[in-house]
Amino acid sequence: MKGIPISALLGLFITGLFFLAALLAPWIAPYGLGQIVGDIWEPSSSQFWLGTDNLGRDLLTRMIYGGQTTIFVASMATAVSFTLGSVLGFTAAVYGGVTDQIMSRVNDLVMSIPTLIFALVVLSVMPVTIPVLILVMGLLDSTRVFRLSRAVAVDINVMDFVEAARLRGEGQRWVIFREILPNALSPLVAELGLRFIFAILFISTLSFLGIGIQPPETDWGGIVKENREGIVYGIPAALIPAVAIVTLSISVNLVADWALNRTTSLKGGRGG
Amino acid sequence: MADTLLEIKNLRIEATVYAPGEKPRDVVIVDDVSLTLERGKVMGLIGESGAGKSTIGLSALSFGRGGIRLSGGNILLNGREIRAASAATLRGLRGKEVTYVAQSAAAAFNPAKRLMEQVTEATLHHGLMSKDEAEKRAVDLFRTLSLPDPENFGKRYPHQVSGGQLQRAMTAMALCPKPDLVIFDEPTTALDVTTQIDVLAAIKTAIAETGVAALYITHDLAVVAQVSDEIMVLRHGKMVEHGTVQQIIEAPREEYTQALISVRSIDHQQKQPTPEPLLRVEGVSARYGAMAKDVLSDVSVELHPGQTLALVGESGSGKSTMARVITGLLPPRKGTITFDGKPLPPALKQRSRDELRELQMIYQMADVAMNPRQTVATIIGRPLEFYFNLRGRKRDERVQELLDAIELGKGFADRYPAELSGGQKQRVCIARALAAKPKLIICDEVTSALDPLVADGILKLLLDLQAREGVAYLFITHDIATVRAIADSIAVMYRGKVQRYGPKDQVLTAPFDAYTDLLLSSVPEMELGWLEKVLAHRRMSSAGN
Amino acid sequence: MHPIPKLVIQRLALGLLLLFAASVMIFVGTMILPGDVAQAILGQNATPEALANMRASLGLDQPATTRYFSWLFSALQGDLGTALSNGRDIASSIAGRLQNTLFLAAVAACISVPLAIFLGLLAVRYRDRWPDKLISAITLTSISLPEFLLGYVIMYLFSVQWGLFPSVSNINDGMSFLQKLNAVALPAMVLTLVVLAHMMRMTRAAILNVMQSAYIETAELKGLRRFTLIARHAMPNAIAPIVNVVMINLAYLVVGVVVIEVVFVYPGMGQYLVDHVAKRDVPVVQACGLIFATIYIGLNLLADLISILSNPRLRHPK
């Protein structure tokens, strides 16, 4: 653990807690997800740590289960966008020429329509289920990953050490996995963090707009939607997901920042 | 003491280094350096990279780049202490009493403004002349510096003139406010050798005509010998030796100075051609992508086994393209390449593993020629695995043999490239090439990024390896001194064509064609009065025409 | 030919091509299976006859290319079709809402652009000292929060707790300009916060990039004052990247509007779009998508053109 700054350690720790809570949701949640346990919008008490929601369900329970859904969907969408985006991005960079041109132009085209608008257009005809959401989010976001991984790989691909490997007669597999990938890892890890945060924000937004996670399932965006009327009466139940989202994104950001700094230090670290 | 302009006493300069993963620490860049410059004199500051010469130059403006601090000693300019002077005082003297000429004029000019505005800016800002006077002086300086169309030169934007012209424009900018002192910071280093001589001559004339004092910073002793009155040799931020030009060049006292002067005095016995060449390039033309013009046109050369062919030329001459054609990265448009008696397939992909093995390459920038994520053992060991299927202990033993051959010894195998010095990196690249047991190694400017002494070591190693292993070199370089040191035959390239080709003694002996003459005569020699001699010779021959 | 008009024409043509391709994608995006619009409207339990009737009435029995071109040509003439859910003319429903949306976006832009540039300059001036770090921390937090949640936080504080502005942004033609401003105060504030972070960071980076150029050192060594140096040497080179940053963020802002309108129940295009996505009203979604995409592509194109026009190498060719 030497050399990891405290901020990154803290980020790792909190991110870990969130994932742990998501995994262990059924065991740590005090009540059932749909169980009505009290009055509507009760304030926090020793019985209901975060109070109750618009139907009298325990908010802590809803937050834990909602976090499970949010984190699951965001992780899967990130996995889709990352696998697809980085594989295609590397392919475009290494093959170059026409392949690269076609792939890059198609990518530009998809990126020319704002992600949210495109998602709304597609979701207006698709059945809104979790696999569909994961796919739509993952595919749309893979354009960003494609752009970054292609740029990183193109930068590395023109380095003399890659040319040296080609002149030696190495195949594309060695070039990609042994020469390019180890040098591209740090920026990609940092990007992974950013894409994950974006996926959290995106699924929350979709659920809030009513075209994400559908009841009786819930997620953090859904909790806001359910409790939004409370705001005007001064009941802050809808703001609780904000705290969760901010804490999680800042934690992931701290880790991503550290990963990114490691990249720059490697480039500058010639001879120390 | 009345005519002392600049007096630096016991100067100490420090900087804070922010190494990743470490606590910031202070390092001393310049330690206890003193110098005295009299009005109207030129002092050369010379040293290798990291000697602190630029930092000392900028201290005359009481300026520290980045996090650099002038932390101790005195800097007296015109008798006034300026080291810790107020910002207002410094603004008053910068651009008025002292001016600066940077290495890269292309970056030092604001791309959005016309040259005239920038050249006269300091003069007008300090209220030294009226606008008309300043512009008239600028035009006069353009003329002195032999810039084309001096009346209208200032109307252009920086990107509209060439690198050599921009460097002269920067000199005009420095001289315009009639300063007492100009700092020249490697003003000709980024230029081609035939351009360098013009800029050097222009700077020298301008210094002589304006009577300004100067600090001339460079790593090239031969250059500084042409323009300076005295020379100070620096190393690792300390003064090594100080004396008149004559004393330094002709009777250096310190061992380090002697080494700098005797650099490239390698004695190399020229070998005779053998009956069968190893590499034969015949009528090769090549161009990149959809370009309309050939970068190489109708090039034919031969290289004999165990010998060295030097490709010499300036930037844009096509010499590096030759390397790409021979390695198969850029299949030629026309012509053939024969290697070891057999035709070499034009494209990399068509070549057999043995053909690839026998032809290795070493790059200019050893930094980027090695994967920063691989250890030295992996870098050198991979060709052994790939070509000879050597693994485990056998591979490790061979790696160590190769490390011994490049004089690096034990303890290097587990290091990463970032943990090596510039010279060590280039040695590892040589070992990687040797690992393949090649018949030919293409060396693309392998010494030009290195300091002279280190470069010298690399050249000696290459010659030594050639004698032992019988490997042939195709040596691409812009540096004539390197060519003299190692070549058996030479091809002088100019605009994609071979201008002159043959055994070294023939190519380097008169009568010359016009370009080779220009190229050879432009290389600064470590000799007093060389610049005047060359210029006089050129004036005579052009008058004769 | 002078390179600038040539490049500008090239970019414009490219922009048109992109717009055309985007319209194809929006059209195709609504045809991704399973099911079709008729199925989406009538639900899974519809009888085959009902579905067939619906398809015929929507023209779905025509080939896709025919439908696409008739959709595109009517859209170009301002005819966006009729909404499935209520049979109203889409173009006339959108007109007033588009105006409202642009009004909100314009108010947010008027606040955020000067503020972002000012804060960016401030961050550069006090680089790595506390003002810079404070600005960084605030911006990091604000980009860690989805727009809609930021909206509710602002609403909770400024409307419910402190009672400064209305929580619901009702707006109509009868209102005076000031009343309208009061009504959009909160959504404009949220939008400002949303784009401020990016715009400020990018401005900071753009100025720092220029300030680290060698020609700034040259100017400093001429003895120029800091202010003169920035005004005369940094600004002419920093304006283009900053304008570029602004344009890109305005494009982003137009998208952010969609969510914010839902939060504040603001009668704009965004809310209209989201409502009809839930109702699976495909013609409305396509029309709105096309308009948002056009604005987005247009602003990005503008950013591109500005950087071409301000490049001295292109303005004064050799």
Phi, psi of B434 (to 5 degrees): -65, -30
Token duo for residue B504: 């070294």
Nearest to B160 among C222, C228, C318 (CB): C318
Nearest to C222 among B104, B109, B121 (CB): B121
Which chain B residues contact residue A101 at CB under 8 A? Answer: none
Among the listed residues C254, C267, C257, the one whose alpha carbon sits nearest the alpha carbon of residue C293: C254
Beta-carbon count within 10 A of B65 CB: 10
b/e code B273-312 from CB counts within 10 Å (16+ = b)? eeeebbbbbeebbbbeeeeeebbbbebebbbbbbbbbbbb
Which chain C residues contact residue B157 at CB under 8 A? Answer: 312-313, 316
Chain B: give the shortest CA distance to residue A23, in Å: 34
N-term to C-term CA, chain A: 21
User: 3-class SS at B93?
Assistant: helix
Which chain B residues contact residue A3 at CB under 8 A? Answer: 21
DSSP alpha helix (H) spans, chain C: 3-29, 37-42, 48-58, 64-76, 90-125, 130-143, 147-154, 177-183, 185-211, 214-220, 226-228, 235-263, 269-278, 282-309, 312-315
Residue C44 pLDDT: 67
Among the listed residues C202, C295, C73, C70, the one whose alpha carbon sits nearest the alpha carbon of residue A113: C295
The answer to whether residues B448 and B479 touch, using CB atoms and an 8 Å cutoff, is: yes
Contact B369 A268 (CB under 8 A): no
| pLDDT in 10s for each residue of chain B, 545 residues | 458 899 999 999 998 877 655 667 788 889 999 999 999 899 999 988 878 888 999 999 999 887 788 988 999 999 899 988 898 999 999 999 999 999 888 889 998 899 999 999 999 999 999 999 999 999 999 998 889 899 999 999 998 888 889 999 999 999 999 999 999 999 988 888 888 898 899 899 889 888 899 999 998 888 899 999 999 999 988 999 999 999 998 889 998 888 888 766 677 778 887 788 999 999 999 988 777 788 899 999 999 999 999 999 888 888 889 999 999 999 999 999 999 989 999 999 899 999 999 999 999 888 889 998 899 999 999 999 999 999 889 999 999 999 999 988 778 888 888 888 888 999 999 999 999 999 999 999 998 888 888 888 899 999 999 999 999 999 999 888 888 888 999 999 998 899 999 999 899 888 888 899 888 888 888 888 888 888 888 887 776 55
The answer to whether residues C244 and C95 touch, using CB atoms and an 8 Å cutoff, is: no
Token duo for residue B532: 């005047």
Which residues have CB under 8 Å from B84's CB, separation 6+?
B70
Residue B490 pLDDT: 94
Q: Does A107 touch chain C (CB under 8 A)?
A: no
User: Phi/psi zone of residue B212: left (φ > 0), alpha (ψ -120 to 50 degrees), beta?
Assistant: beta
Hey, what amino acid is at A123? L
Nearest residue on chain B to C211, alpha-carbon basis? B110
Token duo for residue B152: 């209208």
Among the listed residues B314, B295, B316, B228, the one whose alpha carbon sits nearest the alpha carbon of residue B520: B314
Q: Does C144 touch chain A (CB under 8 A)?
A: yes
Distance between CA B437 and CA C38 in Å, rounded? 72
Which chain C residues contact residue A109 at CB under 8 A? Answer: 18, 21-22, 25
Contact C215 B94 (CB under 8 A): no
Chain C: give the shortest CA distance to residue B517, in Å: 31
Among the listed residues B380, B371, B433, the one whose alpha carbon sits nearest the alpha carbon of residue A157: B371
Which chain C residues contact residue A110 at CB under 8 A? Answer: 25
Which chain B residues contact residue C209 at CB under 8 A? Answer: none
Can you tell me the ipTM of this complex?
A: 0.82
Taken in order B117, B123, B127, B129, is the CA torsion positive or negative? negative
Q: Does A4 touch chain B (CB under 8 A)?
A: no
Which residues have CB under 8 Å from C81's CB, separation 6+?
C71, C74, C90, C283, C287
* B308-312/B334-339 β-pairing: unpaired
The answer to whether residues A149 and A85 touch, using CB atoms and an 8 Å cutoff, is: yes
Residue B1 pLDDT: 45
Taken in order C5, C10, C13, C15, is the CA torsion positive or negative? negative
Which residues have CB under 8 Å from B3's CB, separation 6+?
B38, B39, B40
Residue B37 pLDDT: 93
Q: Does A120 touch chain C (CB under 8 A)?
A: yes
At C35, the pLDDT band (50, 70, 90 cuts) reads: low
Phi, psi of B353 (to 5 degrees): -60, -35
Regions of chain A with pLDDT less than 50 = 1, 264-272
Distance between CA B529 and CA B531 in Å, rounded? 6
Residues C276-308: tens digit of each pLDDT: 888 888 888 888 988 888 888 888 888 888 888
Among the listed residues C18, C9, C4, C5, the one whose alpha carbon sits nearest the alpha carbon of residue C296: C18
Distance between CA B112 and CA B44 in Å, rounded? 33
Strands ordered across the beta sheet of B279-286: B296-303, B279-286, B334-339, B342-343
Nearest residue on chain A to B19, alpha-carbon basis? A272
N-term to C-term CA, chain C: 12
Ordered DSSP codes for A222-239: HHHHHHHHHHHTT-GGGG
Token duo for residue A115: 């992600």
Nearest residue on chain C to A206, alpha-carbon basis? C259
Which residues have CB under 8 Å from B439's CB, separation 6+?
B278, B305, B340, B358, B359, B471, B472
Residue A270 pLDDT: 30
Residue B243 pLDDT: 92
Chain C: give the shortest CA distance to residue A118, in Å: 7
Phi, psi of B283 (to 5 degrees): 55, 40
Distance between CA A248 and CA A234 in Å, rounded? 25
Nearest residue on chain C to A105, alpha-carbon basis? C18
Q: What is the mean pLDDT of chain A?
A: 85
Query: Which residues of B, range 1-60, sit inside 8 Å of A by Cβ?
Result: 19-21
Contact A208 C259 (CB under 8 A): yes
Which residues have CB under 8 Å from B37's CB, separation 6+?
B4, B5, B6, B7, B43, B181, B213, B215
Which chain C residues contact residue A219 at CB under 8 A? Answer: none
The torsion angle over the Cα atoms of residues B431, B434, B440 and B441, rounded to 10 degrees, is -10
Contact C213 B95 (CB under 8 A): no
Among the listed residues B269, B201, B217, B256, the one whose alpha carbon sits nearest the alpha carbon of residue B102: B217
The answer to whether residues C137 and C220 touch, using CB atoms and an 8 Å cutoff, is: no
Q: Give the rounded distance of the alpha carbon of B45 from its chain centre.
A: 16
Distance between CA B114 and CA B117 in Å, rounded? 6
Residue B141 pLDDT: 92
The answer to whether residues B456 and B488 touch, using CB atoms and an 8 Å cutoff, is: no
Q: Provide the whole-model pTM.
A: 0.82
Subunit partners of chain B (3 or more CB pairs within 8 A): A, C
Q: What is the mean pLDDT of chain C?
A: 83
Query: Which residues of B, range 128-167, sit inside 8 Å of A by Cβ?
Result: none
User: 3-class SS at B240?
Assistant: strand
Q: Does A158 touch chain C (CB under 8 A)?
A: no
Residues C228-284: tens digit of each pLDDT: 888 888 888 888 888 888 888 888 888 888 889 988 888 888 888 988 888 888 888
Hey, what amino acid is at C214? A
Residues A232-247: tens digit of each pLDDT: 887 888 888 888 998 9
The secondary structure element, H or E, covering residue B34 is strand B25-38
The answer to whether residues B260 and B225 touch, using CB atoms and an 8 Å cutoff, is: no
Residue B386 pLDDT: 94
Residue C73 pLDDT: 84
Nearest to A164 among B361, B372, B373 (CB): B361
Residue A268 pLDDT: 35
Distance between CA C233 and CA C210 in Å, rounded? 9
DSSP alpha helix (H) spans, B8-162: 53-59, 87-93, 105-108, 115-125, 131-144, 150-153
Contact C316 B92 (CB under 8 A): no
Ordered DSSP codes for B457-516: HHHHHHHHHHHHH--EEEEEES-HHHHHHH-SEEEEEETTEEEEEEEHHHHTSSSPPHHH
